Amino acid sequence: MLRPAGEIVGRPESEVRPRRPGCRSTDRNHGIGSIYVGAFIVTSLVVGGKLLLLAARTRQLPEFTLGLGLFALVGVSEPAG
């Protein structure tokens, strides 16, 4: 059976249970996500910094561009956004 365009498909509002205040599962998921994002930022800063040091020693463009990309874009813009 075809439905009219724009019709929302799902449970009727009368059947949807309201979310309990202080639901632990979503709070825990946000905490785990924050840990993963923090680990990603720290790892990117460390690897980017090491690549920049390697680029300074070897004077190679690939190490410099990858190091700058990891260090600046992930390490600076991720915490800001």
Question: Three-state SS for 11?
Answer: coil
Question: Three-state SS for 73?
Answer: helix
Rounded to 10 degrees, the C-alpha dihedral 30/32/38/43 comes to -150
Residue with tokens 């910094």: 49
pTM: 0.58
Each residue's pLDDT tens digit, 17-76: 666 666 555 666 677 888 888 888 889 889 999 999 999 999 999 999 999 998 888 867
> How distant is the alpha carbon of residue 46 from its chain centre?
17
> Higher confidence at residue 40 or residue 77?
40
Q: What mean pLDDT is predicted for residues 1-26?
A: 62
DSSP 74: I
For 16-29, give the DSSP string.
PPPPPTT-HHHHHH
Q: Are 16 and 39 in contact (CB under 8 A)?
A: no
> Higher confidence at residue 53 or residue 11?
53
Write down the pLDDT at residue 54.
94
